[in-house]
Structure 1
């Protein structure tokens, strides 16, 4: 009992120390950005208080690390509506730079834990090359103006909003409880494995042109290599066209269609996003888009601090209510981007 109490005390002190560090970083960042006042971000074509992108990026980091979704979409909302950028082709790669922050921190951890299906990630990445090149070319030429880009961005935002709202319903929660119970049994089996098995993690059983089979703590999973390549083309065409990461499509594909457990889906998804986003950003730059490095730097710092704070925030607010709030915000934004012009012409009221 005494040892358990000591461990709890140490854990509590550790949590307080982490919270203190995050608080100090946030306050320092806030003070510095307020002190910097307003400045012109020439490449982005906007002039605004430096504290605005810092605070918005912190918000994006908190939401993304707490709920695990909508990072690229919220980044886009910031660039389009909060900061007021007018060049759609600059917004897209800047969104994707911000969606790379989390994968860079997370993927090495998944690799060390051997919770990443490298073959699947590479196959998705191969498809992502073609998808990202085609998506960025299409978007640069067809969705080059805010008038053409915003409605498409709004349609995807509405899709994510409805998904977030659905995930707050009792029906989804009951289904999630079943999945959680199944996951708990899987974790228990993994923990009961011997030390050698735990070190192995994801293992390749078979690699053929028509079939790849892997095992993860005794459970076997298989897929045809062609499907991830084709999925990578489609998913990254959409994500590159919009200037987002693509996780909102990658995760359902791997978990639902391929039947992979979430323990290995998350890391594999992030690995593929790194490849696809790099290709997409490079393609946009080659097509004439520009990155506002000072604005991106401020946002990256904000996202890192927000991502650190997210897990602590989730202790004090129910995930269900956070997801509901996100769904409502995205619903409003999606309606504004998709139908805003029509609504304004009828009512004279500008939504966003």
Structure 2
């Protein structure tokens, strides 16, 4: 049995006629950059999240860059974030010559431990950037409370959590700015790189729109140093189709996660807070003998992902920050025993039963 870690092919086959039609329309009109497909997508994304402004862009990484640039982050500014995430989160901070300040994670949710944030705030702190990891949002109410008390901006890195909810808040519309990624493997993915930024602040939104198009206010007139952060029309068309079915896919992901939860044995299964709806970007278990388990799964044809084997504070690129092993014990512990099982809305029961059988043996 061939099992895909994420089954993009079955998804494409289901929506093929509509997706092909969207792509053909772009090809027929040669309107590859910006245009009506992009405007339609931004309207749909705004309606889905409830955010006043949705700005589609070239990647989830560029979404973070846009968010940071729009609030005027400068060299030496400090941004509080988590060491347990993909490098893009801290990379974008460092790219702008600001300083990532790491806070350890909660052992149950793997999101930033909100009880440890305030002790890391200094006069140089400008923002908090929580990551809604594996599809589950951080405690945004608490983070927003801390930020308001200390006059900080909150940027939710929702690259893995578009469509998730936290106690009445929608991911990407739960703070000053929210960002997401439409990388193909994300719960809502396009067929290349893509992302979006969300805000209810019109001034920030306008600045982001200028920055993502080379700082241009009108043709050949530039008010900012910007980037080329535009999303192309083909990706917008693909996302417009997929977004129509996304609520159904989220429901299916709940069913698959519950089936894993009910049937896996002798492993630590994911914890989802009662106030949260996760979109299950990954289904991660923890095991005592990960290397042995990885080999066994490989031998049996079960694809596995490992997130994240080297925490950010121990990465060579961040040596200059001065962190050392032992600084974030929860992150370091989890990075040694966590592994992700196949997860998508198109995982079949037969495939899932086989995966469970291999893990439980």
- Per the normalisation by structure 2, the TM-score is 0.24
Richer in helix (by share)? 1
Structure showing greater Rg:
1
Which has the higher relative contact order, 1 or 2, with Cα contacts under 8 A spaced 6 or more apart? Answer: 1
Richer in strand (by share)? 2
